[in-house]
Chain A
Amino acid sequence: KAGVTQTPRYLIKTRGQQVTLSCSPISGHRSVSWYQQTPGQGLQFLFEYFSETQRNKGNFPGRFSGRQFSNSRSEMNVSTLELGDSALYLCASSFGGYSNQPQHFGDGTRLSIL
Protein backbone atom coordinates (compact mmCIF):
# COMPACT_ATOMS: atom_id res chain seq x y z
CA LYS A 1 0.00 0.00 0.00
CA ALA A 2 1.52 3.30 -1.05
CA GLY A 3 2.19 5.80 1.69
CA VAL A 4 1.85 9.57 1.72
CA THR A 5 3.84 11.11 -1.12
CA GLN A 6 5.20 14.64 -1.00
CA THR A 7 6.83 16.48 -3.87
CA PRO A 8 9.33 17.93 -4.29
CA ARG A 9 11.64 16.58 -1.56
CA TYR A 10 13.91 19.60 -1.63
CA LEU A 11 13.37 23.17 -2.75
CA ILE A 12 15.51 26.30 -2.71
CA LYS A 13 13.87 29.69 -3.10
CA THR A 14 14.79 33.32 -2.47
CA ARG A 15 13.01 35.85 -0.31
CA GLY A 16 9.88 37.32 -1.85
CA GLN A 17 9.16 34.35 -4.09
CA GLN A 18 6.25 31.99 -3.68
CA VAL A 19 6.20 28.21 -3.55
CA THR A 20 3.70 25.38 -3.97
CA LEU A 21 4.14 22.01 -2.28
CA SER A 22 2.18 18.91 -3.18
CA CYS A 23 0.85 15.98 -1.14
CA SER A 24 -0.82 12.76 -2.28
CA PRO A 25 -2.51 10.98 0.63
CA ILE A 26 -2.87 7.27 1.22
CA SER A 27 -5.60 5.83 -1.00
CA GLY A 28 -8.97 6.12 0.76
CA HIS A 29 -7.84 8.85 3.14
CA ARG A 30 -9.92 12.02 2.90
CA SER A 31 -8.20 14.20 5.51
CA VAL A 32 -4.89 15.92 4.82
CA SER A 33 -3.04 17.98 7.43
CA TRP A 34 0.06 20.11 6.97
CA TYR A 35 2.78 20.76 9.56
CA GLN A 36 5.91 22.89 9.71
CA GLN A 37 8.96 21.53 11.53
CA THR A 38 11.78 23.85 12.62
CA PRO A 39 14.58 23.28 15.17
CA GLY A 40 13.27 26.03 17.43
CA GLN A 41 9.49 25.52 17.30
CA GLY A 42 9.26 21.79 16.63
CA LEU A 43 6.26 20.42 14.74
CA GLN A 44 3.50 22.98 14.34
CA PHE A 45 0.08 22.49 12.76
CA LEU A 46 -0.67 24.64 9.72
CA PHE A 47 -4.11 23.49 8.53
CA GLU A 48 -6.29 20.50 7.75
CA TYR A 49 -8.45 19.79 4.74
CA PHE A 50 -11.31 17.30 4.60
CA SER A 51 -13.53 16.79 1.56
CA GLU A 52 -12.03 19.86 -0.16
CA THR A 53 -12.84 22.13 2.81
CA GLN A 54 -10.46 23.63 5.35
CA ARG A 55 -11.63 22.14 8.63
CA ASN A 56 -8.97 23.37 11.07
CA LYS A 57 -6.38 26.11 10.94
CA GLY A 58 -3.27 26.76 12.99
CA ASN A 59 -1.72 30.04 14.01
CA PHE A 60 0.16 30.98 10.86
CA PRO A 61 -0.08 34.18 8.76
CA GLY A 62 -2.27 34.38 5.69
CA ARG A 63 0.79 33.91 3.45
CA PHE A 64 0.32 30.22 4.15
CA SER A 65 -2.62 28.74 2.28
CA GLY A 66 -3.75 25.42 0.97
CA ARG A 67 -6.37 23.57 -0.97
CA GLN A 68 -7.61 20.06 -1.51
CA PHE A 69 -8.84 18.52 -4.73
CA SER A 70 -11.69 16.08 -5.31
CA ASN A 71 -9.22 13.16 -5.34
CA SER A 72 -8.03 14.24 -1.84
CA ARG A 73 -4.64 15.39 -3.11
CA SER A 74 -3.59 18.62 -1.46
CA GLU A 75 -1.33 21.56 -2.19
CA MET A 76 0.15 24.12 0.13
CA ASN A 77 1.23 27.56 -1.01
CA VAL A 78 3.48 30.07 0.70
CA SER A 79 3.66 33.55 -0.77
CA THR A 80 6.22 36.31 -0.22
CA LEU A 81 8.74 33.91 1.28
CA GLU A 82 10.75 35.01 4.31
CA LEU A 83 14.00 33.59 5.67
CA GLY A 84 12.06 32.21 8.66
CA ASP A 85 9.98 30.01 6.35
CA SER A 86 12.97 27.71 5.93
CA ALA A 87 11.70 24.44 7.40
CA LEU A 88 10.64 20.89 6.77
CA TYR A 89 7.01 20.85 5.64
CA LEU A 90 5.19 17.63 6.43
CA CYS A 91 1.90 16.37 5.14
CA ALA A 92 -0.17 13.73 6.94
CA SER A 93 -3.31 11.87 5.94
CA SER A 94 -6.03 9.94 7.73
CA PHE A 95 -9.48 8.59 6.93
CA GLY A 96 -11.01 11.72 8.44
CA GLY A 97 -14.37 11.92 10.14
CA TYR A 98 -14.62 12.49 13.88
CA SER A 99 -13.44 9.14 15.19
CA ASN A 100 -9.90 8.84 16.55
CA GLN A 101 -7.53 7.60 13.87
CA PRO A 102 -3.79 8.08 13.51
CA GLN A 103 -2.34 10.38 10.91
CA HIS A 104 0.32 8.97 8.61
CA PHE A 105 3.09 11.23 7.46
CA GLY A 106 5.02 11.68 4.26
CA ASP A 107 8.78 12.29 4.27
CA GLY A 108 8.35 16.03 3.84
CA THR A 109 9.59 18.83 1.62
CA ARG A 110 12.73 20.57 2.84
CA LEU A 111 12.35 24.26 1.92
CA SER A 112 15.39 26.51 2.09
CA ILE A 113 15.09 30.28 1.65
CA LEU A 114 18.18 32.20 0.56
Chain B
Amino acid sequence: DQQVKQNSPSLSVQEGRISILNCDYTNSMFDYFLWYKKYPAEGPTFLISISSIKDKNEDGRFTVFLNKSAKHLSLHIVPSQPGDSAVYFCAASAWGSQGNLIFGKGTKLSVKP
Protein backbone atom coordinates (compact mmCIF):
# COMPACT_ATOMS: atom_id res chain seq x y z
CA ASP B 1 0.00 0.00 0.00
CA GLN B 2 1.36 3.39 -0.97
CA GLN B 3 2.21 5.46 2.09
CA VAL B 4 2.84 8.62 0.06
CA LYS B 5 0.49 9.46 -2.80
CA GLN B 6 0.63 12.07 -5.52
CA ASN B 7 -2.72 11.66 -7.21
CA SER B 8 -2.06 13.97 -10.16
CA PRO B 9 0.38 12.44 -12.65
CA SER B 10 0.61 15.72 -14.55
CA LEU B 11 -0.13 19.43 -14.24
CA SER B 12 0.00 22.18 -16.85
CA VAL B 13 0.31 25.83 -15.83
CA GLN B 14 0.81 29.12 -17.65
CA GLU B 15 4.05 31.02 -17.06
CA GLY B 16 3.67 33.57 -14.27
CA ARG B 17 0.76 31.78 -12.61
CA ILE B 18 0.80 29.66 -9.47
CA SER B 19 1.58 25.92 -9.58
CA ILE B 20 0.12 23.83 -6.78
CA LEU B 21 1.33 20.27 -6.38
CA ASN B 22 -0.37 18.02 -3.85
CA CYS B 23 0.67 15.04 -1.77
CA ASP B 24 -1.18 12.82 0.71
CA TYR B 25 0.31 10.40 3.22
CA THR B 26 -1.09 7.66 5.41
CA ASN B 27 1.63 6.97 8.00
CA SER B 28 1.14 9.13 11.11
CA MET B 29 4.75 8.38 12.15
CA PHE B 30 6.11 10.57 9.34
CA ASP B 31 7.61 13.72 10.81
CA TYR B 32 9.72 15.16 7.99
CA PHE B 33 8.55 15.94 4.47
CA LEU B 34 10.51 16.97 1.40
CA TRP B 35 9.97 18.00 -2.19
CA TYR B 36 12.40 17.10 -4.96
CA LYS B 37 12.53 18.15 -8.60
CA LYS B 38 13.83 15.77 -11.24
CA TYR B 39 14.91 16.40 -14.81
CA PRO B 40 15.43 13.48 -17.23
CA ALA B 41 18.81 11.77 -16.92
CA GLU B 42 19.57 13.58 -13.64
CA GLY B 43 19.12 12.66 -10.00
CA PRO B 44 16.42 14.33 -7.87
CA THR B 45 17.31 17.82 -6.69
CA PHE B 46 16.23 18.87 -3.20
CA LEU B 47 13.86 21.85 -3.23
CA ILE B 48 12.35 22.43 0.18
CA SER B 49 11.40 20.53 3.33
CA ILE B 50 9.17 20.90 6.35
CA SER B 51 9.18 19.38 9.80
CA SER B 52 5.93 18.18 11.34
CA ILE B 53 6.16 20.87 14.05
CA LYS B 54 5.54 23.52 11.39
CA ASP B 55 2.68 24.11 9.00
CA LYS B 56 4.46 26.30 6.47
CA ASN B 57 7.95 26.81 5.11
CA GLU B 58 9.03 29.29 2.45
CA ASP B 59 12.11 29.52 0.27
CA GLY B 60 11.97 32.11 -2.48
CA ARG B 61 9.29 31.15 -4.99
CA PHE B 62 8.63 27.84 -3.24
CA THR B 63 6.30 27.36 -0.26
CA VAL B 64 5.34 24.06 1.32
CA PHE B 65 2.20 23.75 3.44
CA LEU B 66 1.56 20.87 5.83
CA ASN B 67 -1.88 19.92 7.17
CA LYS B 68 -1.23 17.18 9.72
CA SER B 69 -4.85 16.51 10.55
CA ALA B 70 -5.62 15.86 6.88
CA LYS B 71 -2.24 14.15 6.29
CA HIS B 72 -1.76 16.42 3.31
CA LEU B 73 1.00 18.65 2.05
CA SER B 74 1.29 20.91 -0.95
CA LEU B 75 4.01 22.76 -2.82
CA HIS B 76 3.24 26.20 -4.21
CA ILE B 77 5.45 27.73 -6.89
CA VAL B 78 4.87 31.43 -7.50
CA PRO B 79 5.41 32.68 -10.13
CA SER B 80 5.88 29.60 -12.28
CA GLN B 81 8.64 29.70 -14.90
CA PRO B 82 9.28 27.47 -17.95
CA GLY B 83 12.47 26.21 -16.24
CA ASP B 84 10.28 24.75 -13.49
CA SER B 85 9.03 22.12 -15.95
CA ALA B 86 10.12 18.81 -14.43
CA VAL B 87 8.81 15.88 -12.40
CA TYR B 88 8.20 16.76 -8.75
CA PHE B 89 8.41 14.13 -6.04
CA CYS B 90 7.02 14.34 -2.55
CA ALA B 91 8.89 12.31 0.08
CA ALA B 92 8.53 11.58 3.79
CA SER B 93 10.50 9.99 6.60
CA ALA B 94 9.87 8.93 10.19
CA TRP B 95 12.06 9.66 13.22
CA GLY B 96 14.67 6.96 13.54
CA SER B 97 14.46 6.20 9.82
CA GLN B 98 15.75 9.49 8.48
CA GLY B 99 17.84 7.66 5.89
CA ASN B 100 14.73 5.97 4.50
CA LEU B 101 12.70 8.32 2.34
CA ILE B 102 9.31 7.11 1.13
CA PHE B 103 8.51 8.70 -2.22
CA GLY B 104 5.33 9.43 -4.10
CA LYS B 105 5.12 8.49 -7.79
CA GLY B 106 5.68 12.08 -8.91
CA THR B 107 3.78 14.81 -10.74
CA LYS B 108 5.01 16.08 -14.10
CA LEU B 109 4.73 19.86 -14.19
CA SER B 110 4.67 21.67 -17.54
CA VAL B 111 4.93 25.45 -17.46
CA LYS B 112 3.93 26.96 -20.79
CA PRO B 113 5.31 30.32 -21.98
Q: Report A's interface with B, CB cutoff 8 A.
A: 4, 6, 31, 33, 35, 42-45, 48, 50, 55-56, 58, 90, 92, 94, 96-108
B2 (CB) vs chain A CBs: closest residue = A42
Q: Is there a chain A Cβ closer than 8 Å to B103's Cβ?
A: yes
Within 8 Å by CB of B103, from A42, A94, A104, lies A42
Across the interface, which residues of A come within 8 angstroms of B95, CB to CB? 98
| A99-B98, A102-B46, A105-B43 given; 20 more Cβ-contact pairs under 8 Å | A33-B99, A33-B100, A33-B101, A35-B101, A43-B91, A45-B100, A56-B100, A92-B43, A96-B98, A98-B95, A100-B49, A100-B51, A100-B98, A103-B46, A105-B36, A105-B45, A106-B43, A107-B41, A107-B42, A108-B43
Residue of B nearest to A42 (CB): B105
Cα A55 to Cα B32 in complex, Å, equals 18
Q: Is residue B31 within 8 Å, beta carbon to beta carbon, of the partner chain?
A: yes
Contacts A43-B89, A105-B43 given; indicate if A31 touches B32 (C-beta within 8 A).
no
Can you report 28 residue pairs joining A to B where beta carbons are below 8 Å apart? A6-B43, A33-B101, A35-B101, A42-B103, A42-B104, A45-B101, A45-B102, A56-B97, A56-B100, A90-B43, A96-B99, A97-B98, A98-B98, A100-B31, A100-B49, A100-B98, A102-B34, A103-B34, A103-B46, A103-B99, A103-B101, A105-B43, A105-B44, A105-B46, A106-B43, A107-B42, A107-B43, A108-B43
